[in-house]
């Protein structure tokens, strides 16, 4: 193949198409592209042997963007920075491998020529076309403006766009006594000049078919949910037809946390017993809610078989990818309310798309129209202009009227180190964030700079924490032995359940979070190191894979056992009925808000891994008393300020940052997740509605 950096457009299309595939194979070999992307291009080439190489190259880039979480390929951005379309770390890679760069292939290419080549291809459909012919509808690529999609993801985005437009345009009847009932629900005092965003969020959600509530830890998202459900259920219960309400979350762990929070909030809710009993504490995963069919992308509940409910509340919505959101909206009846909860600053979904982030794009500005502002003032009985807060209400499109951002954190005070660190990381203020860590001015923040890969300070922190109150893993393992029921305790005795509950709770006193899975500072190696260290200290015994005290993480949904991806259990020795032997079983929380425990034989568990260390992605929806985040010693594509923020906000009382090499933390804060999508562009154009 000709290795000279000729402008791509000067090369002969037919002869170069085959050469392009050979080049893509080379990119796959050196890790710049996935094998899947190359196979997709070969598939397109077989569909159309006359295909312009420009189209095939764009298809390879578009397919690869999914691995970065992008829904589509932005042609203009790709021309401005072609090398970012593949996993190219530096131009020096090209010299080492003697292979053409994307920038060399696209050298001198004009956007209009690339757009024309795509628009005239038999492989590409123009989204503006109303052509419903079978040939057009079966084309594998879709071009919408400057964005190129794989058809499947373009279809997902259209389904989400259509469903949300219909919901945004729909309104619910405003109860005449809503202001009075809101005042009864939200009677807590706030600092002077602070808007009660919880109250406003509840007002908007009460009168909307669709609403989005975003806020950081401690801002009261669960408080809003319980009060919102009470506000809606009260008139329904009095009318003799309680609302059918379902609660869901993306993972089992997130579902368990929501169930626990709602159960606690219900106990303090000032409503009648009948209203309280009508509010469910059962939270399920989205997969289980929709009824997923194993090993397929299909669900039992869909547009033809919608869910039987009147209202759906989804927590940790930032974790929902575009495909899942499309399926969820398809299965939702047109008359049902939908409330999405989450933190817009957290990591986006693992799969492609960032729907929640798209929806919350303007949340900080609170783009409420003057009409919405006046309505909120009337409902809340508060004149915002008196406190010079009119600046929040500026925009005039409908989506903005459905989004509420909570600002006042009840978990992290102004003097909290964790709260300040999360704020400065969000602001990408490297200087202030580093100052908080290295000055040791806050008792809830700790910074550990390792001397080398074998620095024992890391193991000491993980096992012993910082002192008797700031725990490591010794804490739960010590309780395992010191609180075990007596040997002669019957296997049916409730003491074993209480013991398991205590250990599951104490295991959440500390957690080590990692950025990556592979390498010296990845999940796999660190789990091995920690296991070895615990054995040396005789905190765990035995050299086999299974041992008492082993924490395990479920890595894929198991519907037969009722265990979901993200569930964590602990292996414990329990008495066997009818004999004197003790058998190893894994204790899992029941995730139903009732603090139950279930025991499963290890032999029945398939997709699991040891859980001393887990990725930040897997930790979403969880919180731990003491959280330690260990960074890798080299920069990775996933290292961004969103990942750092998510790791920090998993900490409830103490946060430790561990750096094998200085500078990684600073570089991570400077980087920001950017996911290409057309969803927000369309929704922002939706005309405003009036309350």
Helix H or strand E segment including 337: strand 337-342
Question: Is 62 marked as a binding-site residue?
Answer: no
Between CA 616 and CA 521 the distance in angstroms is 13
Contacts of 683 by beta carbon, 8 Å cutoff, 6+ apart = 161, 164, 165, 168, 358, 359, 399
Question: Is 240 marked as a binding-site residue?
Answer: no
Do residues 316 and 620 lie in contact, with contact meaning Cβ atoms separated by under 8 Å? yes
Question: Is 417 marked as a binding-site residue?
Answer: no
Between CA 573 and CA 591 the distance in angstroms is 22
Q: Which residues in 555-650 belong to E strands, given as ranges?
A: 568-575, 582-589, 597-600, 608-610, 613-615, 624-630
Contacts of 328 by beta carbon, 8 Å cutoff, 6+ apart = 286, 290, 314, 320
Helix H or strand E segment including 498: helix 494-507
Question: Is 242 marked as a binding-site residue?
Answer: no
Between CA 120 and CA 449 the distance in angstroms is 56
Do residues 15 and 6 lie in contact, with contact meaning Cβ atoms separated by under 8 Å? no
Other Cβ atoms less than 10 A from the Cβ of 356: the count is 24
Do residues 593 and 259 lie in contact, with contact meaning Cβ atoms separated by under 8 Å? yes
3-class secondary structure per residue, 191-240: CCCCCCHHHHHHHHHHCECEEEEEECCCCCHHHHHHHHHHHHHHHHHHCC
Handedness of CA 633, 343, 607, 462 (dihedral sign): positive
Do residues 314 and 286 lie in contact, with contact meaning Cβ atoms separated by under 8 Å? yes
Question: Is 687 marked as a binding-site residue?
Answer: no
Tell me the Cα Rg of the chain. 27
Question: Is 215 marked as a binding-site residue?
Answer: yes
Between CA 349 and CA 617 the distance in angstroms is 8
Question: Is 218 marked as a binding-site residue?
Answer: yes
Write out the binding residues for ATP. Answer: 215-222
Binding residues, as ranges, are 215-222
């Amino acid at each position: 193949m000709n290795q000279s950096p000729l402008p791509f457009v000067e090369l002969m299309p037919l002869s170069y198409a085959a050469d392009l595939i050979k080049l893509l194979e080379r990119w796959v070999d050196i890790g710049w592209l996935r094998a899947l992307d190359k196979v997709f291009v070969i598939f397109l080439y077989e569909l159309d042997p006359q295909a312009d190489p420009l189209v095939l190259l764009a298809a390879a880039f578009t397919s690869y963007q999914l691995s970065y979480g992008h829904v589509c390929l932005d042609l203009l951005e790709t021309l401005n920075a072609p090398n970012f379309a593949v996993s190219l770390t530096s131009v020096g890679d090209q010299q080492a491998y003697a292979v053409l760069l994307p920038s060399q292939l696209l050298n001198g290419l004009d956007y209009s020529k690339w757009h024309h080549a795509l628009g005239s291809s038999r492989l590409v459909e123009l989204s503006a076309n109303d052509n419903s012919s079978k040939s057009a509808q079966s084309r594998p690529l879709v071009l919408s403006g400057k964005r190129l999609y794989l058809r499947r993801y373009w279809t997902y985005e259209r389904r989400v766009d259509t469903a949300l437009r219909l919901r945004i345009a729909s309104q619910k009847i405003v109860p005449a006594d809503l202001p009075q009932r809101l005042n009864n629900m939200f009677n807590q005092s706030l600092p002077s000049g602070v808007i009660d965003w919880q109250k406003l969020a509840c007002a908007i959600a009460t009168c909307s078919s669709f609403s989005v509530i975003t806020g950081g830890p401690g801002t009261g998202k669960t408080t809003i949910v319980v009060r919102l459900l009470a506000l809606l259920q009260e008139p329904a219960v009095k009318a003799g037809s309680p609302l059918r309400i379902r609660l869901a979350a993306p993972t089992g762990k997130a579902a368990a946390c929501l169930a626990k929070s709602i159960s606690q909030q219900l106990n303090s809710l000032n409503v009648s017993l009948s209203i309280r009993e009508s509010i469910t504490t059962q939270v399920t995963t989205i997969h289980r809610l929709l009824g997923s069919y194993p090993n397929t992308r299909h669900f039992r509940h869909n547009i033809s078989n919608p869910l039987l409910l009147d209202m759906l509340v989804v927590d940790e919505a930032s974790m929902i990818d575009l495909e899942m959101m499309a399926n969820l909206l398809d299965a939702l009846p047109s008359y049902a309310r939908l409330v999405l909860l989450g933190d817009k600053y957290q990591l986006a979904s693992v799969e492609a798309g960032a729907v929640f982030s798209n929806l919350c794009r303007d949340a900080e500005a609170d783009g409420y129209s003057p009409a919405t502002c006046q309505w909120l003032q009337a409902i809340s009985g508060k004149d915002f202009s008196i406190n010079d807060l009119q600046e929040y209400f500026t925009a005039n499109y409908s989506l903005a009227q459905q989004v509420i951002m909570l600002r006042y954190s009840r978990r992290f005070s102004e003097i909290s180190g964790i709260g300040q660190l999360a704020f400065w990381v969000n602001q990408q203020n490297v200087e202030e964030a580093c100052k908080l860590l290295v000055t040791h001015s806050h008792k809830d923040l700790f910074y550990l700079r390792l001397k080398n890969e074998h620095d024992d300070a890391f193991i000491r922190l993980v096992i012993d924490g910082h002192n008797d109150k700031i725990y490591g893993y010794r804490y739960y393992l010590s309780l395992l032995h010191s609180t075990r029921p007596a040997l002669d305790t019957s296997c049916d005795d409730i003491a074993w359940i209480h013991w398991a509950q205590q250990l599951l709770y104490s295991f959440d006193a500390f957690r080590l979070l990692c950025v990556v899975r592979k390498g010296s500072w990845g999940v796999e190696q660190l789990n091995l190191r920690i296991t070895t260290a615990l054995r040396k200290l005789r905190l765990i015994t035995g050299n086999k894979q299974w041992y008492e005290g082993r924490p395990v993480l479920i890595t894929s949904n198991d519907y037969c056992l009722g265990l979901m991806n993200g569930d964590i259990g602990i292996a414990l020795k329990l008495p066997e009925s009818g004999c004197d032997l003790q058998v190893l079983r894994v204790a899992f929380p029941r995730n139903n808000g009732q603090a139950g425990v279930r025991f499963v034989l290890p032999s029945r568990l398939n997709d699991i891994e040891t859980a001393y260390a887990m990725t930040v992605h897997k930790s979403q929806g969880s919180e731990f008393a003491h959280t330690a985040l260990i960074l890798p010693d080299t920069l990775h594509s996933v290292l961004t300020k969103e990942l750092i923020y998510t790791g920090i906000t998993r900490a409830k009382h103490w946060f430790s940052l561990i750096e094998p090499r200085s500078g990684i933390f600073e570089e991570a804060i400077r980087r920001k997740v950017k996911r290409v999508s057309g969803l927000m562009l369309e929704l922002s154009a939706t005309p405003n509605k009036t309350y």
